[in-house]
Structure formats: C-alpha cells, structure tokens
Amino acid sequence: MSQPLVITPTLLRYLTTCERRVWLDAYGEASQQAEMTPIGALYGIAHERQLQKVASPQAESMPVQSWDEGVTLTRELMAAGTSVIIGAYVEARYRVESGVEVSLRGRVDRLTLNPETGCYEPVEIKQYINIGKGDELQLDFYVSILEQMQETKLRGFFWLGDDAQGRPRYVLQHDLNLTRLQLALRKAYTVLTQREAPAVNLVTHCKECPWHSECTTVARSNFDLSLLPRLNSQTRKTLQRGGINTLQDLAALSIEELQRFKGIKKTAASHLANARAYVEDRPVWVSRMPDLLHGGGWMFDLETAALPGGDGMPWSLGWSDEEGKSQIAIVAPEQPHQRVTLAPIGELITVKDKDEAWEAFYDSVGVNDKPIYHWSGFDAGVMKATAPEFVKRALLGRMHDLHHTFVNTVRLPLRSYSIKKVAAYFGFHYSGYEEWWAAETDYRRWLVTGEVEHITRACGYQRDDVLALAIIWKWLIENHHLQTDERI
Ligand code: SF4
C-alpha cells in the first residue's frame, strides 16, 4: 500500500510564504538544493534550549532511532503520566475533502500535563514576542493532533521571549482555529498533488531558501520581472496588468512610458537599466563615476560577533591597499600583541580588544588621507558605534560606501548587489567559504584550541572580502569610460 502524503508544521509555515518551496521540497532535484545554515534558527534553538533547561533542569534524555520509535515512546510517556515531554513526537491521520488520507506529523517543543484535566497541552517556544501566521498554524496543527490523540478539547501555549532568569517573558494561550488549519491543509494537499512546480516569484526571503539558485536560473531563462531588485510585488502586478510581463517588455519602454505606471516615478531609470542589463547580459551605466575613485584608497571590511552568545563587537578588522596587500587585526584577549605573517593571507595582528584593533587600523591607513572604501553602511556604522573617539575623528570623514557609489553608477544583470555577488560577476572567487557565520565559528574555535587552520580560514574569509572590494574598485576605474555613450 502506498504511503500517505506527510504534512508537517514546517511545510505549513513555508506554505504561508511560497507554494513553490513546498513543492520543490517534496519533488525537487536534491542536487539543485543548496546547503543552508539557517542562522535565525540557530538563535531560536539556543533560546529554546536555555528555556527548557531552566524550566526542566532534571530532564532526562532518551535517544530514539526512528520516527516510529519516537511516536511510540511519546505515547508511553503520556500513558505513564510524565509531567513534561520535551521534543514530543506526535502524529495523526487526516482525511482531506476528496477522502484521501494524509499523515500529519511533527515534534512539539514541550507537552505539559495539565493536572486539572489530566491532558497534555502543547507549548511552542519562540525567541521573538510577536507571533505570525506560521506560528499560529503550527500550534493549530499540534492542538488538533493532540485533541485527536486524547479525544478531548485542548488549548496550546506560546512561550515568548525570555526574562533575566531565563523564563518565558510572556505566556500566550492559543485556541485552535480549525477553519484556518483545514484551509491550510487543503492548500498543502493541492500543492503537493500538482504535476508542475508553482511559478517562481523571487522576493527578499528567497536568499534564505535552498532553492534560490535553481529559481534564479528559471527566472533568468524566462526574463522574469521578479529578477528586478526593489520592484515590489504590487508594482509588478501593475506592470503585468498593463501588458509588461517580462524584462524584455520592460526594456523596450522609454523612461516616460515606464513612468506612466503607478508606483514608478523616480525609479524608472533604475528599473530600465536593470532590465537592459539582464536582456543584453552586460553592465549598463546609469551615471558618472565619482572622480574621487581615481585617487585610489584603502579597502576595508570588518566582522562582528553576531552568532548566539556574541557581544556584537568587532572581532576582526581587515584592510588592504589598492594592490590587495592585506592586513588583519584579530581580537584575542588571551594572546600576546604581535604581528605575524599568515601565509598565504598577509599580516595578522593579534590585539587584546576592539580598541587595539581600531588603533592598528588607524596606524596603517593614517599614513595618507585616501578614501577608505567599504560595502554598505554597516562598517561605517560599526566604526561610529565602537571605535575610540580619536579614530572616529580621523577616519569617519574618509569612509566611502562603494556599494552606494556602485549601484548609483552602473547596473549588472543581478538581483542582489551583495559584495559576493558583484565580485563573482567580475570573476572573483572566494578561496574558502563565503559565510560570515563560518568565519566567526572558526574564529571561536581558534580562541579555544589555538589551532592555526581555524584562524587561517577565518582570516582567509576576511581577506577575501577586502580583495573583493579591490576587484570592484579596479573594475570601475578601468571601465568607467564606457559610461559616456551608454548612460540611460
Ligand atoms: S527561492 Fe523563493 S521562489 Fe524559489 S522556492 Fe525559494 S522561496 Fe520560493
């Protein structure tokens, strides 16, 4: 007998933002799926662990080998009257309108025994305090399964945020909305029984989706309007209603024609340049490159402690000259202040805290008054918030946001203008990983173990961010002459 379709709370959560994601997760080509580390989820997991530890310090761990074993164990613990079951396995069958049976299954953060009713109630733990539609569906899902299992009416609870003692900041009662859940289950079943994947619709959260690369490829081959950066879905629908369905349609318009569409006025030239960049598969210049860039300068990037447990302060500052000769100041409170050559990366300066890191940076770039290029407002913002006063006075006025200059000067056939994407367009490849969290993880391991391969990888990432800036600056300098006859 064929196995029933499995519907999980995660699936319902994805369904609230993208039907295509749900379909691809079930039937997509696994090799097209990128490996992702959901940083937001890591914070959520750390938060949940902390709250569980405070609420149930004596909890006993019981390993299970399979889903079925987990369900059996959960039922046994419930039958035995265990007061709290953490990570409970729950499952029930559900009949959709057509009469077909599907399997609903998921793992509840906590099942707590209500001493007054003798029934188990589900608790979901969230780091944030404002719940969304996906969260409500998740508890609807668990309450519904547990009502079926215990043959009684139930309520669920959210534990939201935390207080100074590591307890939930708010406990919010949740009542099952059966209509909402049934609608979501029906929609899930419809999507899962479709022969074709739902259409691509690239939006901001797509960059956190493992199918992003696959969907971008499909969108490129269709000249999909959702490839345009900063074109919101409302304006896209307005364009489609006016017969502009592809980037080719849009690229054929004049600025004046494009401005007739509601929601497009000042952005018309920018959308047009982006559309032409895709259609003609080349950079399209939108305005003059600032002369300041001809004077050369320093390339600068920094990393802050942003993983769970981090204090948000810089742990690494990296910079280089125009030729890519790089230096990196790393915060290592337990290590002596020293300068060493870290092959093949460049000079590594170990400093005791972020102030010493800023001082090392100041000593190096203070030898002249050239611009200090960085990508986006982040680095200057962190300098403003964390550098000693004399460093800010001397250097803040020299900070130049190359990202701002770049997007105001030229457009590429890209949806994202992150430094990684832009540098990759010019053929630059990172020597190792491209994820900030991987570098911070290596840095933390190095602090604990002292193993040089960890700091080499972390510094390789920092150095590559700096080199990527140098590549982009150089490309602007070498190609800006094209702008005169191509400007929109
Ligand atoms: S990349 Fe975007 S459109 Fe594609 S599946 Fe993921 S969320 Fe959906």
Residue 481: its pLDDT value, please? 74
**Model confidence at 368: pLDDT above 70:** yes
In short, whether 13's Cβ falls inside 6 Å of ligand 1 is no
Residue identifier of the C-alpha nearest atom 7 of ligand 1: 206
| Atom nearest to 24 CA in ligand 1 | 5
**Model confidence at 41: pLDDT above 80:** no
Residue 485: its pLDDT value, please? 44
Q: How far is the CA of 206 from the centre of ligand 1 (A)?
A: 5
Least confident of 38-52, 87-101, 319-333: 38-52
In short, whether 143's Cβ falls inside 6 Å of ligand 1 is no
Pairing mode, if any, of strands 372-374 and 84-95? unpaired
Using 50, 70 and 90 to split pLDDT, how confident is the model at 1? low
Residue 228 CB burial class (10 angstroms; 0-12, 13-18, ≥19): buried
Q: How far is the CA of 184 from the centre of ligand 1 (A)?
A: 19
pTM of the model: 0.82
The pLDDT tens digits for 5-27 are 999 999 999 999 999 999 999 99
Residue 98: its pLDDT value, please? 81
Token couple for 410: 């030229």
User: What does the H/E/C string look like for 414-449?
Assistant: CCCCCHHHHHHHCCCCCCCCCCHHHHHHHHHHHHHH
The pLDDT tens digits for 305-364 are 998 888 999 999 999 999 989 999 999 999 888 999 988 888 999 999 999 999 999 999
Strand, coil or helix: 102: strand
Domains with residue ranges and CATH for the chain: 6-192 (3.90.320), 223-281 (1.10.150.20), 291-486 (3.30.420.10)
Least confident of 390-404, 451-465, 472-486: 472-486
Residue 342: its pLDDT value, please? 85
Local structure of residue 246 (DSSP, 8 states): B
Residue 346: its pLDDT value, please? 87
Using 50, 70 and 90 to split pLDDT, how confident is the model at 148? very high
Euclidean distance between CA atoms 335 and 315, whole angstroms: 14
Q: How far is the CA of 329 from the centre of ligand 1 (A)?
A: 38
pLDDT, mean of residues 201-229: 94
Euclidean distance between CA atoms 111 and 74, whole angstroms: 10
Using 50, 70 and 90 to split pLDDT, how confident is the model at 482? low
Residue 167 CB burial class (10 angstroms; 0-12, 13-18, ≥19): middle
pLDDT, mean of residues 95-104: 89
